[in-house]
Amino acid sequence: MNDLRKSGWFFSIPESNLPFYGYIGMFDFKNTDWYAVWKTVPTMIGLAFFGILHVPINVPSLSVSVGLDNLDMNRELFAHGISNLISGVFGSFQNYLVYSNSILFYRSGGDSRLAGMMLAIATFFIMAFGASYLGYIPTVVVGMLIFHLGIELLKESLYDTWGVVSPIEYFTILVVVFCMALIGFNEGIFIGLFGYLVFIGWKFY
């Protein structure tokens, strides 16, 4: 098994005796490199902008895809706001709904609150007690999952929208896809926003 891990077929087992909450004790503003923080401001702005937009875009799209008609956008916005506030207080990651992952989970049978609770419990268990179990997961499985999600997103953005949206909208989608792939995530967001403003101006003025 160790030879397979060294060859890259399995994930390496993390070697650490710290508990999963040990990172909280590492916060020390005296040792903070504020120049490095300043360099990440554009990325933080992009993530914040994405976090604001993803709820009114992804949640209704997910609702339509799974056939739910009881969507309460105010409740979704409130829940995402509270979860991100709590996550930020504890120095954790941004919380947002990943449309492709949610669709995959739903199509795999996760269509109930019980399934969501089981996933949350399993995720917490792995985070808190079972990081070493990741060393027994083949890397090819994770690679195939990412590959599948990438193809699914590409299909939904380029193939499923062909003939549905207007030519200028489709051109904007193409530009955003290529910009995110070749330049960067933030650049793709801002170019998409600019394209949207151009489209609105062209359509109504």
List Cβ neighbours of 60 (8 Å cut-off, separation of 6 or more).
71, 73
CA 144/CA 122 separation, integer angstroms: 21
Q: Locate tokens 């409130």: which residue?
A: 78
Neighbouring CB atoms inside 10 A of 188's CB total: 19
pLDDT classification of 75: cutoffs 50, 70, 90: confident
User: Which pLDDT band holds residue 165 (cuts at 50, 70, 90)?
Assistant: confident
Token digits of residue 33: 């490199």
**Model pLDDT, residue 131:** 66
Tell me the two tokens of residue 51. Answer: 């976090």
Q: What is the pTM of this model?
A: 0.60
The residue ranges of every structural domain in the chain are: 139-204
Quick check: 38 and 78 in contact, CB under 8 A? no
- Where would I find the H helices in the chain? 2-6, 34-39, 41-66, 73-89, 99-107, 113-128, 139-154, 167-182, 185-204
Q: What 3-state class would DSSP assign to 205?
A: coil
Answer whether residue 153 shows pLDDT above 80: no
Supply the DSSP symbol for 18: S
The two three-digit tokens of residue 55, written as one number = 């709820």
